[in-house]
Amino acid sequence: MIPCSHPPLESAEWQKELASAFGNAGELLRHLGLEHRLQPDILEAAKQFPLRVTRHFASLMRQGDPDDPLLRQVLPLAAELSEAPGFVIDPVGDNLADCGDGILQKYHGRALVIATGACAIHCRYCFRRHFAYQERSARGQEWEALVDNLAAHPALTEVILSGGDPLTLSDRRLGQLLAALQRLPGLRRLRLHSRLPVVLPSRITEDLVALLEDNPWSVSLVIHANHPNELNRDTARALDPLRRAGITLLNQSVLLRGINDQESVLRDLSEALFDMGVLPYYLHLLDPVKGAAHFAVGRSAGRSLIAALRRQLPGYLVPRLVMEEPGSSEKTPL
Ligand SMILES: *Cc1c(COP(=O)(O)O)cnc(C)c1O
Ligand code: SF4
């Protein structure tokens, strides 16, 4: 008997890995030898936005270090429970730009599609931590209806698949979406915003690369890493076939207090990214989302960091420092 290598009902390797992600603080802290750090307020904060982190991302954290820059991005803290003036539920005005069907159109020529609400990791600073994904994401609806809606947007040249994380969709679902997008005559560029190459590199399979390669548009992938420790040989190995397939690779980071608000960290990040064929694109000032005030870095501190990077790196390795303002027609450069 010839064994079937891809039994149809079995999930892919990456899907199994995704399913085995840490889903509670006790388990993660035990894994890191930090079980004594499990405080009741951690559990309280996790009720508002559950802890979630892949085994791969956790494997990049230092054992026994409560200040590890990767751990700090995912561990719920008491600080999230305190109110801070100006830190709100919808800091970027997504509710204003919602066109229905999970489409956000704020910027000229580009429509952002919330292809799914799911993420492989829950970043504590995320502006979508309060987002009503259940009602808003396109998942569960027919992609055809979504594309009908997109077709009604004049002058659309780029579709951005975002979320959540669009690469948490199965190849089959993603393939159906890309097929439906073929109906948009003016579309020239397809962009994906995904953290999976960083937090679940096994997601980048040959089949996925083929899917992204096999279409008529210029394709770019914007990954999301904040600290050089997030990148290792697995990341490089995942990104390499994408690069060979002609996909433009960019990175966006969020400027986070105590995590990457140091010149040396940002410099090492840019260099590590470029070693893997990725250009730094944006460094976002934190969106003032409720529960994330303890991560905020001010504008002037951000500007000084960028000035310092400019003195040390070639221009193409210096990300653009930007912030998002509700109602604005572009990201605001600082
Ligand atoms: C960030 C963003 C974009 C993309 O902006 P670029 O400057 O082209 O990277 C598009 N739509 C929305 C709603 C966004 O938030
Ligand atoms: S949308 Fe991005 S930043 Fe937000 S939780 Fe998901 S992976 Fe993290």
Span 183-231, pLDDT tens digits: 999 999 999 999 999 999 999 999 999 999 999 999 999 999 999 999 9
Pocket test for ligand 2, best of 162, 195, 324 (most atoms within 8 A of CB): 195
Are 120 and 195 in contact by the 8 Å Cβ rule? The answer is: yes
pLDDT score recorded for residue 5: 46
C-beta of 123 in contact with ligand 2 (< 6 A): yes
* Residues with pLDDT less than 50, the chain: 1-8
Burial of 108 (0-12, 13-18, 19+ CB in 10 A): exposed
pLDDT score recorded for residue 3: 45
**Paired sense of beta strands 218-224 and 248-254, if any:** parallel
Return d(Cα 262, Cα 33) in angstroms, integer: 27
The residue type at 222? V
| Nearby residues of 50 by Cβ (< 8 Å), 6 or more positions away | 23, 24, 122
pLDDT score recorded for residue 153: 86
pLDDT score recorded for residue 23: 97
Return d(Cα 8, Cα 4) in angstroms, integer: 9
Are 87 and 289 in contact by the 8 Å Cβ rule? The answer is: yes
pLDDT score recorded for residue 156: 96
Cα 107 to averaged position of ligand 1 atoms, centre (Å): 6
Pick the closest to residue 283 from 262, 245, 253, 313 (CA basis): 253
Pocket test for ligand 1, best of 105, 153, 160, 190 (most atoms within 8 A of CB): 160
Q: What is the pTM of this model?
A: 0.94
Q: What is the DSSP string of 22-33?
A: B-SHHHHHHHTT
